[in-house]
Each structure stands twice: as structure tokens, then as C-alpha cells.
Amino acid sequence: MSQKPEKLIDKKGLRLDGRKPDELRPIKIEVGALSNADGSAYIEQGKNKILAAVYGPKEVHPKHMALPDRMVLRCRYHMAPFSVQERKSPAPSRREIELSKVIREAVEPAIFMEYYPRTAIDVFVEVLQADGSTRCASITAASLALADAGIPMRDLVAACSAGKVDDTIVLDLMDTEDKVGSADVPVAFMPNLGVITLLQMDGILTPEEFEKTVNLAIEGCRKIYALQKEALRSKYISVKEVEE
């Protein structure tokens, strides 16, 4: 790891990459980035580069895993060996197994699970380059991939992190802020329903700081939600233009 920076916020109140505390990193989203998948999305958030693909609804293998009244949602979050500074072994780490679980539990409330009994949907997330808050960007992309696959959903799930660095509450933590900062709170939110589907925290926060951090993250989710809708719309608008 490179040297730890002395200060994460400068005298003008700006962060290492020049952002204001409540500013998101630049985000680029593409829906339908992969042709083989039933639905897919690609997101760049700062230096994060993440692909999500959805396969299904399809037959469940092994068969005994199938549920009679609802579908089975499976999720795999995986980081490419070259996605981080020091090569990461491609074998799934304990962190990746936990994240696969929380990402699944973050998108599941959005899906009408009972519409496809005895089937399975696979969500695959590949982190090609990681720069902090990858679980949030993964959820943002995964929910778009599900929508792109035509899975009936209650809402899109937008996710964003917030945290505390140098005694300031900031939005959308990048890698250094996550590692050196004093708290990290990833949040996934369904803006239309106003509910939280992922919430984790590590670090130390007072209850007041925690409330402020969660509320800031929710504001970030709302901004990302607008970008998600825009990205979905632009895929289908471009299809229309080809037809004409």
C-alpha cells in the first residue's frame, strides 16, 4: 500500500480528489453492456469499473434447491485478480462471500420473487477495478441488470456509501478514505418506496453522526437513482433510433 496521507480534507474543505464533502464521484452507467446475458449493466464510479450480468429466470440446478412458491435468487460478487494494487487470489475470499450475501439481500426486496416459482435467477458481479464502495456500485449495477433482463421489480435499488473522514461526514468514499477514514456506512435504498435494503457500518460513530451519515448516503442514492433511470431510458431510446 502507498503512504497514508496526512490529511484527507484540505484547508478549503476539499477531499483528496478535489470533491466537496457531499459530492459524488463522476458516474458513467451503461445498460446492456453484454450480449450473452439476459440483462447487464456496466458502471464506472470514480476508478471503480464493475460489470453486472443477470441470467434467468431459468431451471434450478441442483433441482432440490427449487422453491415451490417463489424463485431462488443467487448472487456472486467477485473481484478480478488485477482489480486491486496487490494481486487478489481469484478464489472467493470470506469478504466476497459475505458481500455476495448482502448484495443478494439488498436487491431481493425489489423483485417480485413469487412471480417465478421453481426458477432461479443468477446475478453475477465482476469488479474489474476497485476503488472503494464497490458493494454499493455493484448493487446499483445489479439492479439495472435485473431491470434490463425484464424482471418485474417494485423499484430500482440505488446504493451509495457515506462515512466520516477527518471529523467530516462525506459522501461516496473512495479507497483511501475507506481505509484511513474513521467510519464507512454503505446504504442501498429504494427511493420510490423510501426503504433501506442494505445497511452496514464499520468504524465508530455517535448516534447523531450515524443519523447524519445515513441521511447523506440516502441523498447520494437519490442522485444515483436519477442516473440509473437515465441510463435505462437511453438504452431503449437508442434501439428506437436504429429501427427508424
Footprint of another protein on this chain (CB under 8 A)? Answer: 1, 94-95, 97-98, 100-102, 104-105, 108-109, 185, 190, 193-207, 210-211, 214-215, 218
Question: Residue 77: how many CA atoms within 13 Å on its side-chain side?
Answer: 26
Cβ-based nearer residue to another protein, 22 or 105? 105
* Residue 78 φ then ψ, to 5°: -145, 140
> Minimum Å distance from CB 204 to another protein?
5
- 152 vs 34: CA distance, rounded Å: 20
Residue whose CB is less far from another protein, 156 or 198: 198
Of 14 and 97, nearer to another protein (C-beta) is 97
Q: Is the peptide bond before 109 cis (omega within 30 degrees of 0)?
A: no
In Å, what is the CA distance from 225 to each residue of 7, 27, 137, 157, 200?
31, 12, 12, 8, 20
Nearer to another protein, 96 or 166 (CB): 96
Calculate the alpha carbon distances from 191 to 69, 76, 154, 218, 222 in Å.
28, 25, 11, 8, 6
| Residue 30 C-beta: closest distance to another protein, Å | 27
DSSP conformation class of 64: G
**DSSP code of residue 207:** H
215/234 with CB nearer another protein? 215
In the complex, least distance from residue 122 CB atom to another protein, rounded to whole angstroms? 15
Shortest distance (Å) from residue 102 CB to another protein: 8
* Cα distance between residue 40 and residue 51, in whole Å: 7
Rounded least distance, CB 189 to another protein, Å? 9
